[in-house]
Structure 1
Amino acid sequence: MSTNLEIHSLGMKTGTTLKIKGKVDSDAARFNVNLGNNSNDLALHFNPRFDDSRDGYVIVCNSKSGGSWQSEQREKQLPFSQGSTVKFSIEFKDDKFVIKMPEGVEMEFPNRHNYNHIDYMAVNGGFKVTSFKLD
């Protein structure tokens, strides 16, 4: 899985929202957006999958500490489709992340590491970012 975008000085603080717009590849199996300190310490791994062997279309969220994955949270709604242009947002709160997606689909993931600042963002897989901003 190739890295499409990697930023090491994002400057995201609690109370801000990351808005992302981009295009899902027409043959995408999956993509992910990672937020944290670095690739081994992630507060949020947001991973829409079009090919999950267990659930088919699913969104998997997780966190990583010291290079070790923690327990997955799986959401069986997937409001993205291959080949589509999408917008979604990730709100960074003190205790959780709130991810708002098309079709009014929303999910939450806990801020397991109690981060109050995120500098690292990476987008990997079958998704091309066309714009992003912090609000």
Structure 2
Amino acid sequence: MDKMEAYQLDLKKGMTLKLKGKINEDSNGFVINLGQGPKDLALHFNPRFGENVIVCNSQKGGNWEQEYRDEHLCFKPGEETKFSVTIEDDEFQVKLPDGHQVKFPNRAKCNRISYCCVQGGFSLTSFKLA
């Protein structure tokens, strides 16, 4: 499984993380995790092609919280894609390639993200903080 982890990010409230890459042809989905570490996630963003859904969640101390499902899946295996995640006080705004936004509550009121992990069937080509 492809995996990219970054530990010393300085992604603050009001900033945007821009991701670009190619979804593998045989991908069942991929995962973007943002938080303080692998078991402390403010945002778990998980498009799942088999279920035709985007699943979002958060994790505290290794324990998953209440799952949120968005039926608007515009990602497709084999495609180049780009999307962005903006951190606000009360929510994360994920802007999808077709302009649709997935909004997920900032449950831990996290105002700084230091950890990012991209894994699964997604080959990252660009990673930018703005």
Q: Deviations over 1:50-72 (max 9, x none)?
A: 11xxxx21000000001000010
Please tell me whether the aligned partners of residues 2 and 122 of structure 2 are also in contact (alpha carbons under 8 angstroms).
no
* 1:124 paired residue among 109, 113, 119: 119
Question: 4+ residue runs of structure 1 moved beyond 6 angstroms?
Answer: none
- Stretches of structure 1 lacking an aligned partner (at least 5 in a row): none
Please tell me whether the aligned partners of residues 2 and 123 of structure 2 are also in contact (alpha carbons under 8 angstroms).
no
Deviation for aligned residue 1:3: 4.7
In the alignment, what sits opposite 1:60? 55
Q: TM-score w.r.t. structure 2 length? A: 0.98
Q: Deviations over 1:62-96 (max 9, x none)?
A: 00001000010000111110000000000011110
Give the total of aligned pairs: 130
Superposition RMSD on alpha carbons, in Å?
A: 0.8
In the alignment, what sits opposite 1:101? 96
Q: TM-score w.r.t. structure 1 length? A: 0.94
- Stretches of structure 2 lacking an aligned partner (at least 5 in a row): none
Q: Identity over the aligned pairs, expressed in percent? A: 49
Counterpart Cα distance in 2 of 1:16 and 1:3: 26
Aligned partner of 1:29: which letter? N
